Amino acid sequence: MQVVLKRREMAVIVVWSTVALSLLAPSDLQAWQVSAPAILREPSGDRPAIRKLETPAEVAAASAEETVAEETAAEETARSKATVRASSFQELTPGETTADQLIEAFGEPLSRETRGKEEFYTYQVGPFPKIEVVVADESVTSVIIFLEKTAAPADIEKELKLDAFRPAVIRSESGTALGQIYPERGVVFSFDPEATNRMVAQLVLERISAEPFLMRVRQDSLNHYEDNLADLAQAEKLGPDTPELHWLKAQILDAQGNYAAALTAIDKAVTLAPEDARLLTTRAKIHFELDDHEAAIRDAEAVIEDGEAPPEYRARAYCQLADFMANGPDHEYNDALEVHQEALQMGVQLATTDRTEVRRYAKRVLVDAYFGVANDIARGHWQDKQNTMLKWLKGASEIAYGMLEYDEGESLLRLQIIHRTLQAYAGLKINADPQKAVKQLLEELDHVVRKSSDESFKNEVRWIVVETLYEAIEISRAREDHDQVLRFAEHADVLIDKIDRQRERTVNADYLMGKIYFFAGLAESIGNQNHSKAVRYYEKSLPYFSNDLPQRHGSDAGLHGERFVSMGVSYWQADAEDEAVNLTKRGLKMMLAAHRGGKLKESALAVPYGNLATMYEALDDPEQASRMAARAEQLETR
């Protein structure tokens, strides 16, 4: 509504609405060492090596040396994590040892077999029943060591001093764990397929290559962003220059809020593979975050129109296109709903596949599409909106919580459930209290931040919480609960202070943060009649507000001008007269432009003209006061 004060007093422009919310509840190691020798010891050089067979007496004699090694373990761990080097087995180093050197060191093999372009040399060494050395192009490419007895991965990891590294799990297409690899050392643990628990049956030494580093980045579920970027840098050194490398890099940079660098990375990936649907859907997302609405739609449509693209990525592209339509400049909620349903139809068909990665990806698309439909219904023109929206929110939450419980749902999913639920309620404009949802939101924030060691991931989480608090503020404003608006804005202020210099500024992020501070100032002004406190919030909002609105918020042009007029009132009441006049004139200019563009009724201009008349009269400028008053009266009578 628009609040107009007595004649000769200034009017404060406020738009209130009503919204509701209901929170949806959502073999012994010693024995192994006797039967097979201790596996790793640093040789005279700096290369890790599989140790030669030793007698019990030799093992005992080495105990003093091992004690010294334990005392310097922390120092060695720090040093080893900073280096990448292949492991060796009795001077055999994959990628370095030649076939002639193999024969010279080990003699003729027990057997020799050609498989494709590779030759397998079989030996028996010490207690190891079988050693296979793989040779290609006259060079040793890998060494396969068959253990006499299976052992637990943790035991071998400790013995090989690999516990300083984070392994990548090697899985079949159905998701079964076949083994794990340590990229920095080229060591693979091959699991016994007959064992109930993961037990190592073979050790494989390989050349250091890019793929294991990429594999570890793909599998990261704990969002080690800085470690992942280091892995990608290592993979880039090792080569080759692949589209996937730049794609993975773009996704991490995007999550960190480094959008320009993310766009550069994904552009490199697309240059290498122009029709790859994975790359185009990622670039569409980044374009939208950078407020390039047309480019975002163009990439999404390219995937949709590619009949040979994997169906899970076409489903994602449909979901993206619908989101762009709903959240774009024209807010096409009705048309967006139809496109979201296309995403749902494709996602449902893929959500039960045995292909683990496809299934999980499809379920994530379904969650987003369900929430998208809920938002379309909440903000569009439909009958029985509340009940229908609740059904879609319930469906989204059930799929999401199912993923968390049974299908390794991502760590941010709980936060996103709360965010998208509040977003839908903010659009519905019915009356309910978001307090329980915000409490759950802040508890989840605390849990995730305490669990993570990656600061850039923590900032991503904080930003999601800021976005969600904004939706809660919108709901509280609609309920005219000024105290709640201020509480939520204070939470957001603490988080913004932590992340503002860590994430790249975008017009959309600036606009959201500016509105949070503006709404807090408005709550102080309207709710508490405390204009001095209001001004303190407005001073925080102004650096985030600009005359040029984001594309997707172009329809706010008139409303945005009214915000400046409202700020002018509080500055005037706080005796900041010059700033009050400047803000009011700035707001009037925006409102005039919005009226010329057909986005604001002419009668709304009476408020800033009337306020300026009052200001100029108090500033002893009767000519300006008379001119503004006449214009305001003229508009009021129309």
H/E element, 243: helix 243-255
Mean pLDDT throughout 588-615? Answer: 96
Quick one: 267 and 241 in the same domain? yes
End residue of a domain, out of 383, 410, 437: 410
CA dist 627 and 581 (Å) reads 15
One domain for residues 194 and 66: yes
341 vs 184: CA distance, rounded Å: 45
Q: Which two tokens stand for residue 605?
A: 């201009």
User: In the listed set 304, 334, 357, which residue is the last one of a domain according to the structure?
Assistant: 304
User: Of the segments 32-41, 246-255, 423-432, which one has the largest average pLDDT value?
Assistant: 246-255
Instruction: Identify whether residues 300 and 403 lie together within a single domain.
Output: no
pLDDT above 70: percentage of residues in the chain: 87
Q: Quick one: 241 and 381 in the same domain?
A: no
Q: What is the pLDDT of residues 171-202, one digit of tens each?
A: 998 889 999 999 999 999 999 999 999 999 99
Predicted TM-score of the model (pTM): 0.85
344 lies in the same domain as 250: no
The pLDDT mean for the chain works out to 88
Q: Does 622 reside within a domain? A: no
pLDDT tens, residue by residue, 422-470:
999 999 988 889 999 999 999 999 999 999 999 999 999 999 999 999 9
With 90 as the cut, is the pLDDT of residue 502 above it?
no
Asked if the structure places residue 526 within a domain, the reply is no
CB 215 within 8 A of CB 232: no
Residue 75 shares a structural domain with residue 194: yes
Least reliable range by pLDDT among 90-94, 386-390, 500-504, 627-631: 500-504
**Domain contains 44:** no
Q: Per mean pLDDT, which range of 75-89, 326-340, 395-409, 482-496 is the poorest?
A: 75-89
Which H/E stretch holds residue 157?
helix 153-159
What pLDDT sits at residue 335?
97
> Do 268 and 133 share a domain, yes or no?
no
What is the model's pLDDT at position 179?
97
- Number of domain units in the chain: 3
Strands 49-50 and 88-89: parallel
- Whether 388 maps to a domain, the answer reads yes
pLDDT of residue 46: 44
pLDDT for the residue 75: 44
Same domain, residue pair 53 and 175? yes
CA distance 76 to 36: 25
CATH number at residue 269: 1.25.40.10
pLDDT at position 429 is 84
Does residue 138 fall inside a structural domain? Answer: yes
The two tokens of residue 310 are 């994997």
Both 296 and 314 in a single domain?
no
Burial class from Cβ neighbours inside 10 Å (0-12, 13-18, 19+) for residue 250 reads: buried
Distances (CA, A) of 356 to 45, 281, 318, 362: 43, 20, 21, 10
Of 172, 207, 242, which residue is a domain's last?
207
The DSSP symbol for 526 reads I
Q: Which neighbouring-strand residues pair with 187?
A: 182, 205
pLDDT at residue 327 is higher than 50: yes
Quick check: is 478 in a domain? Answer: no
Mean pLDDT of 127-152: 96
Residue 314 and residue 272 in one domain: no
Phi-psi bin for 291: left (phi > 0), alpha (psi -120 to 50), beta?
Answer: left
H or E stretch at 49 = strand 49-50
Whether 336 and 388 map to the same domain: the answer is yes
Question: What Cα–Cα distance (Å) separates residue 332 from each residue in 283, 301, 314, 373, 509?
Answer: 22, 16, 21, 12, 22
Query: Is 364 part of a structural domain of the chain?
Result: yes
Full residue range of the structural domain in which residue 131 is found: 49-84+86-207
pLDDT at 538 over 90: yes
Indicate if 64 and 201 belong to the same structural domain: yes
11 near 4, Cβ under 8 Å? yes
What pLDDT does 81 receive? Answer: 54
158 domain residue, yes or no: yes
d(CA 43, CA 60): 18
Task: Say yes or no to pLDDT of 31 above 50.
Answer: no
pLDDT reading at 59 higher than 90:
no
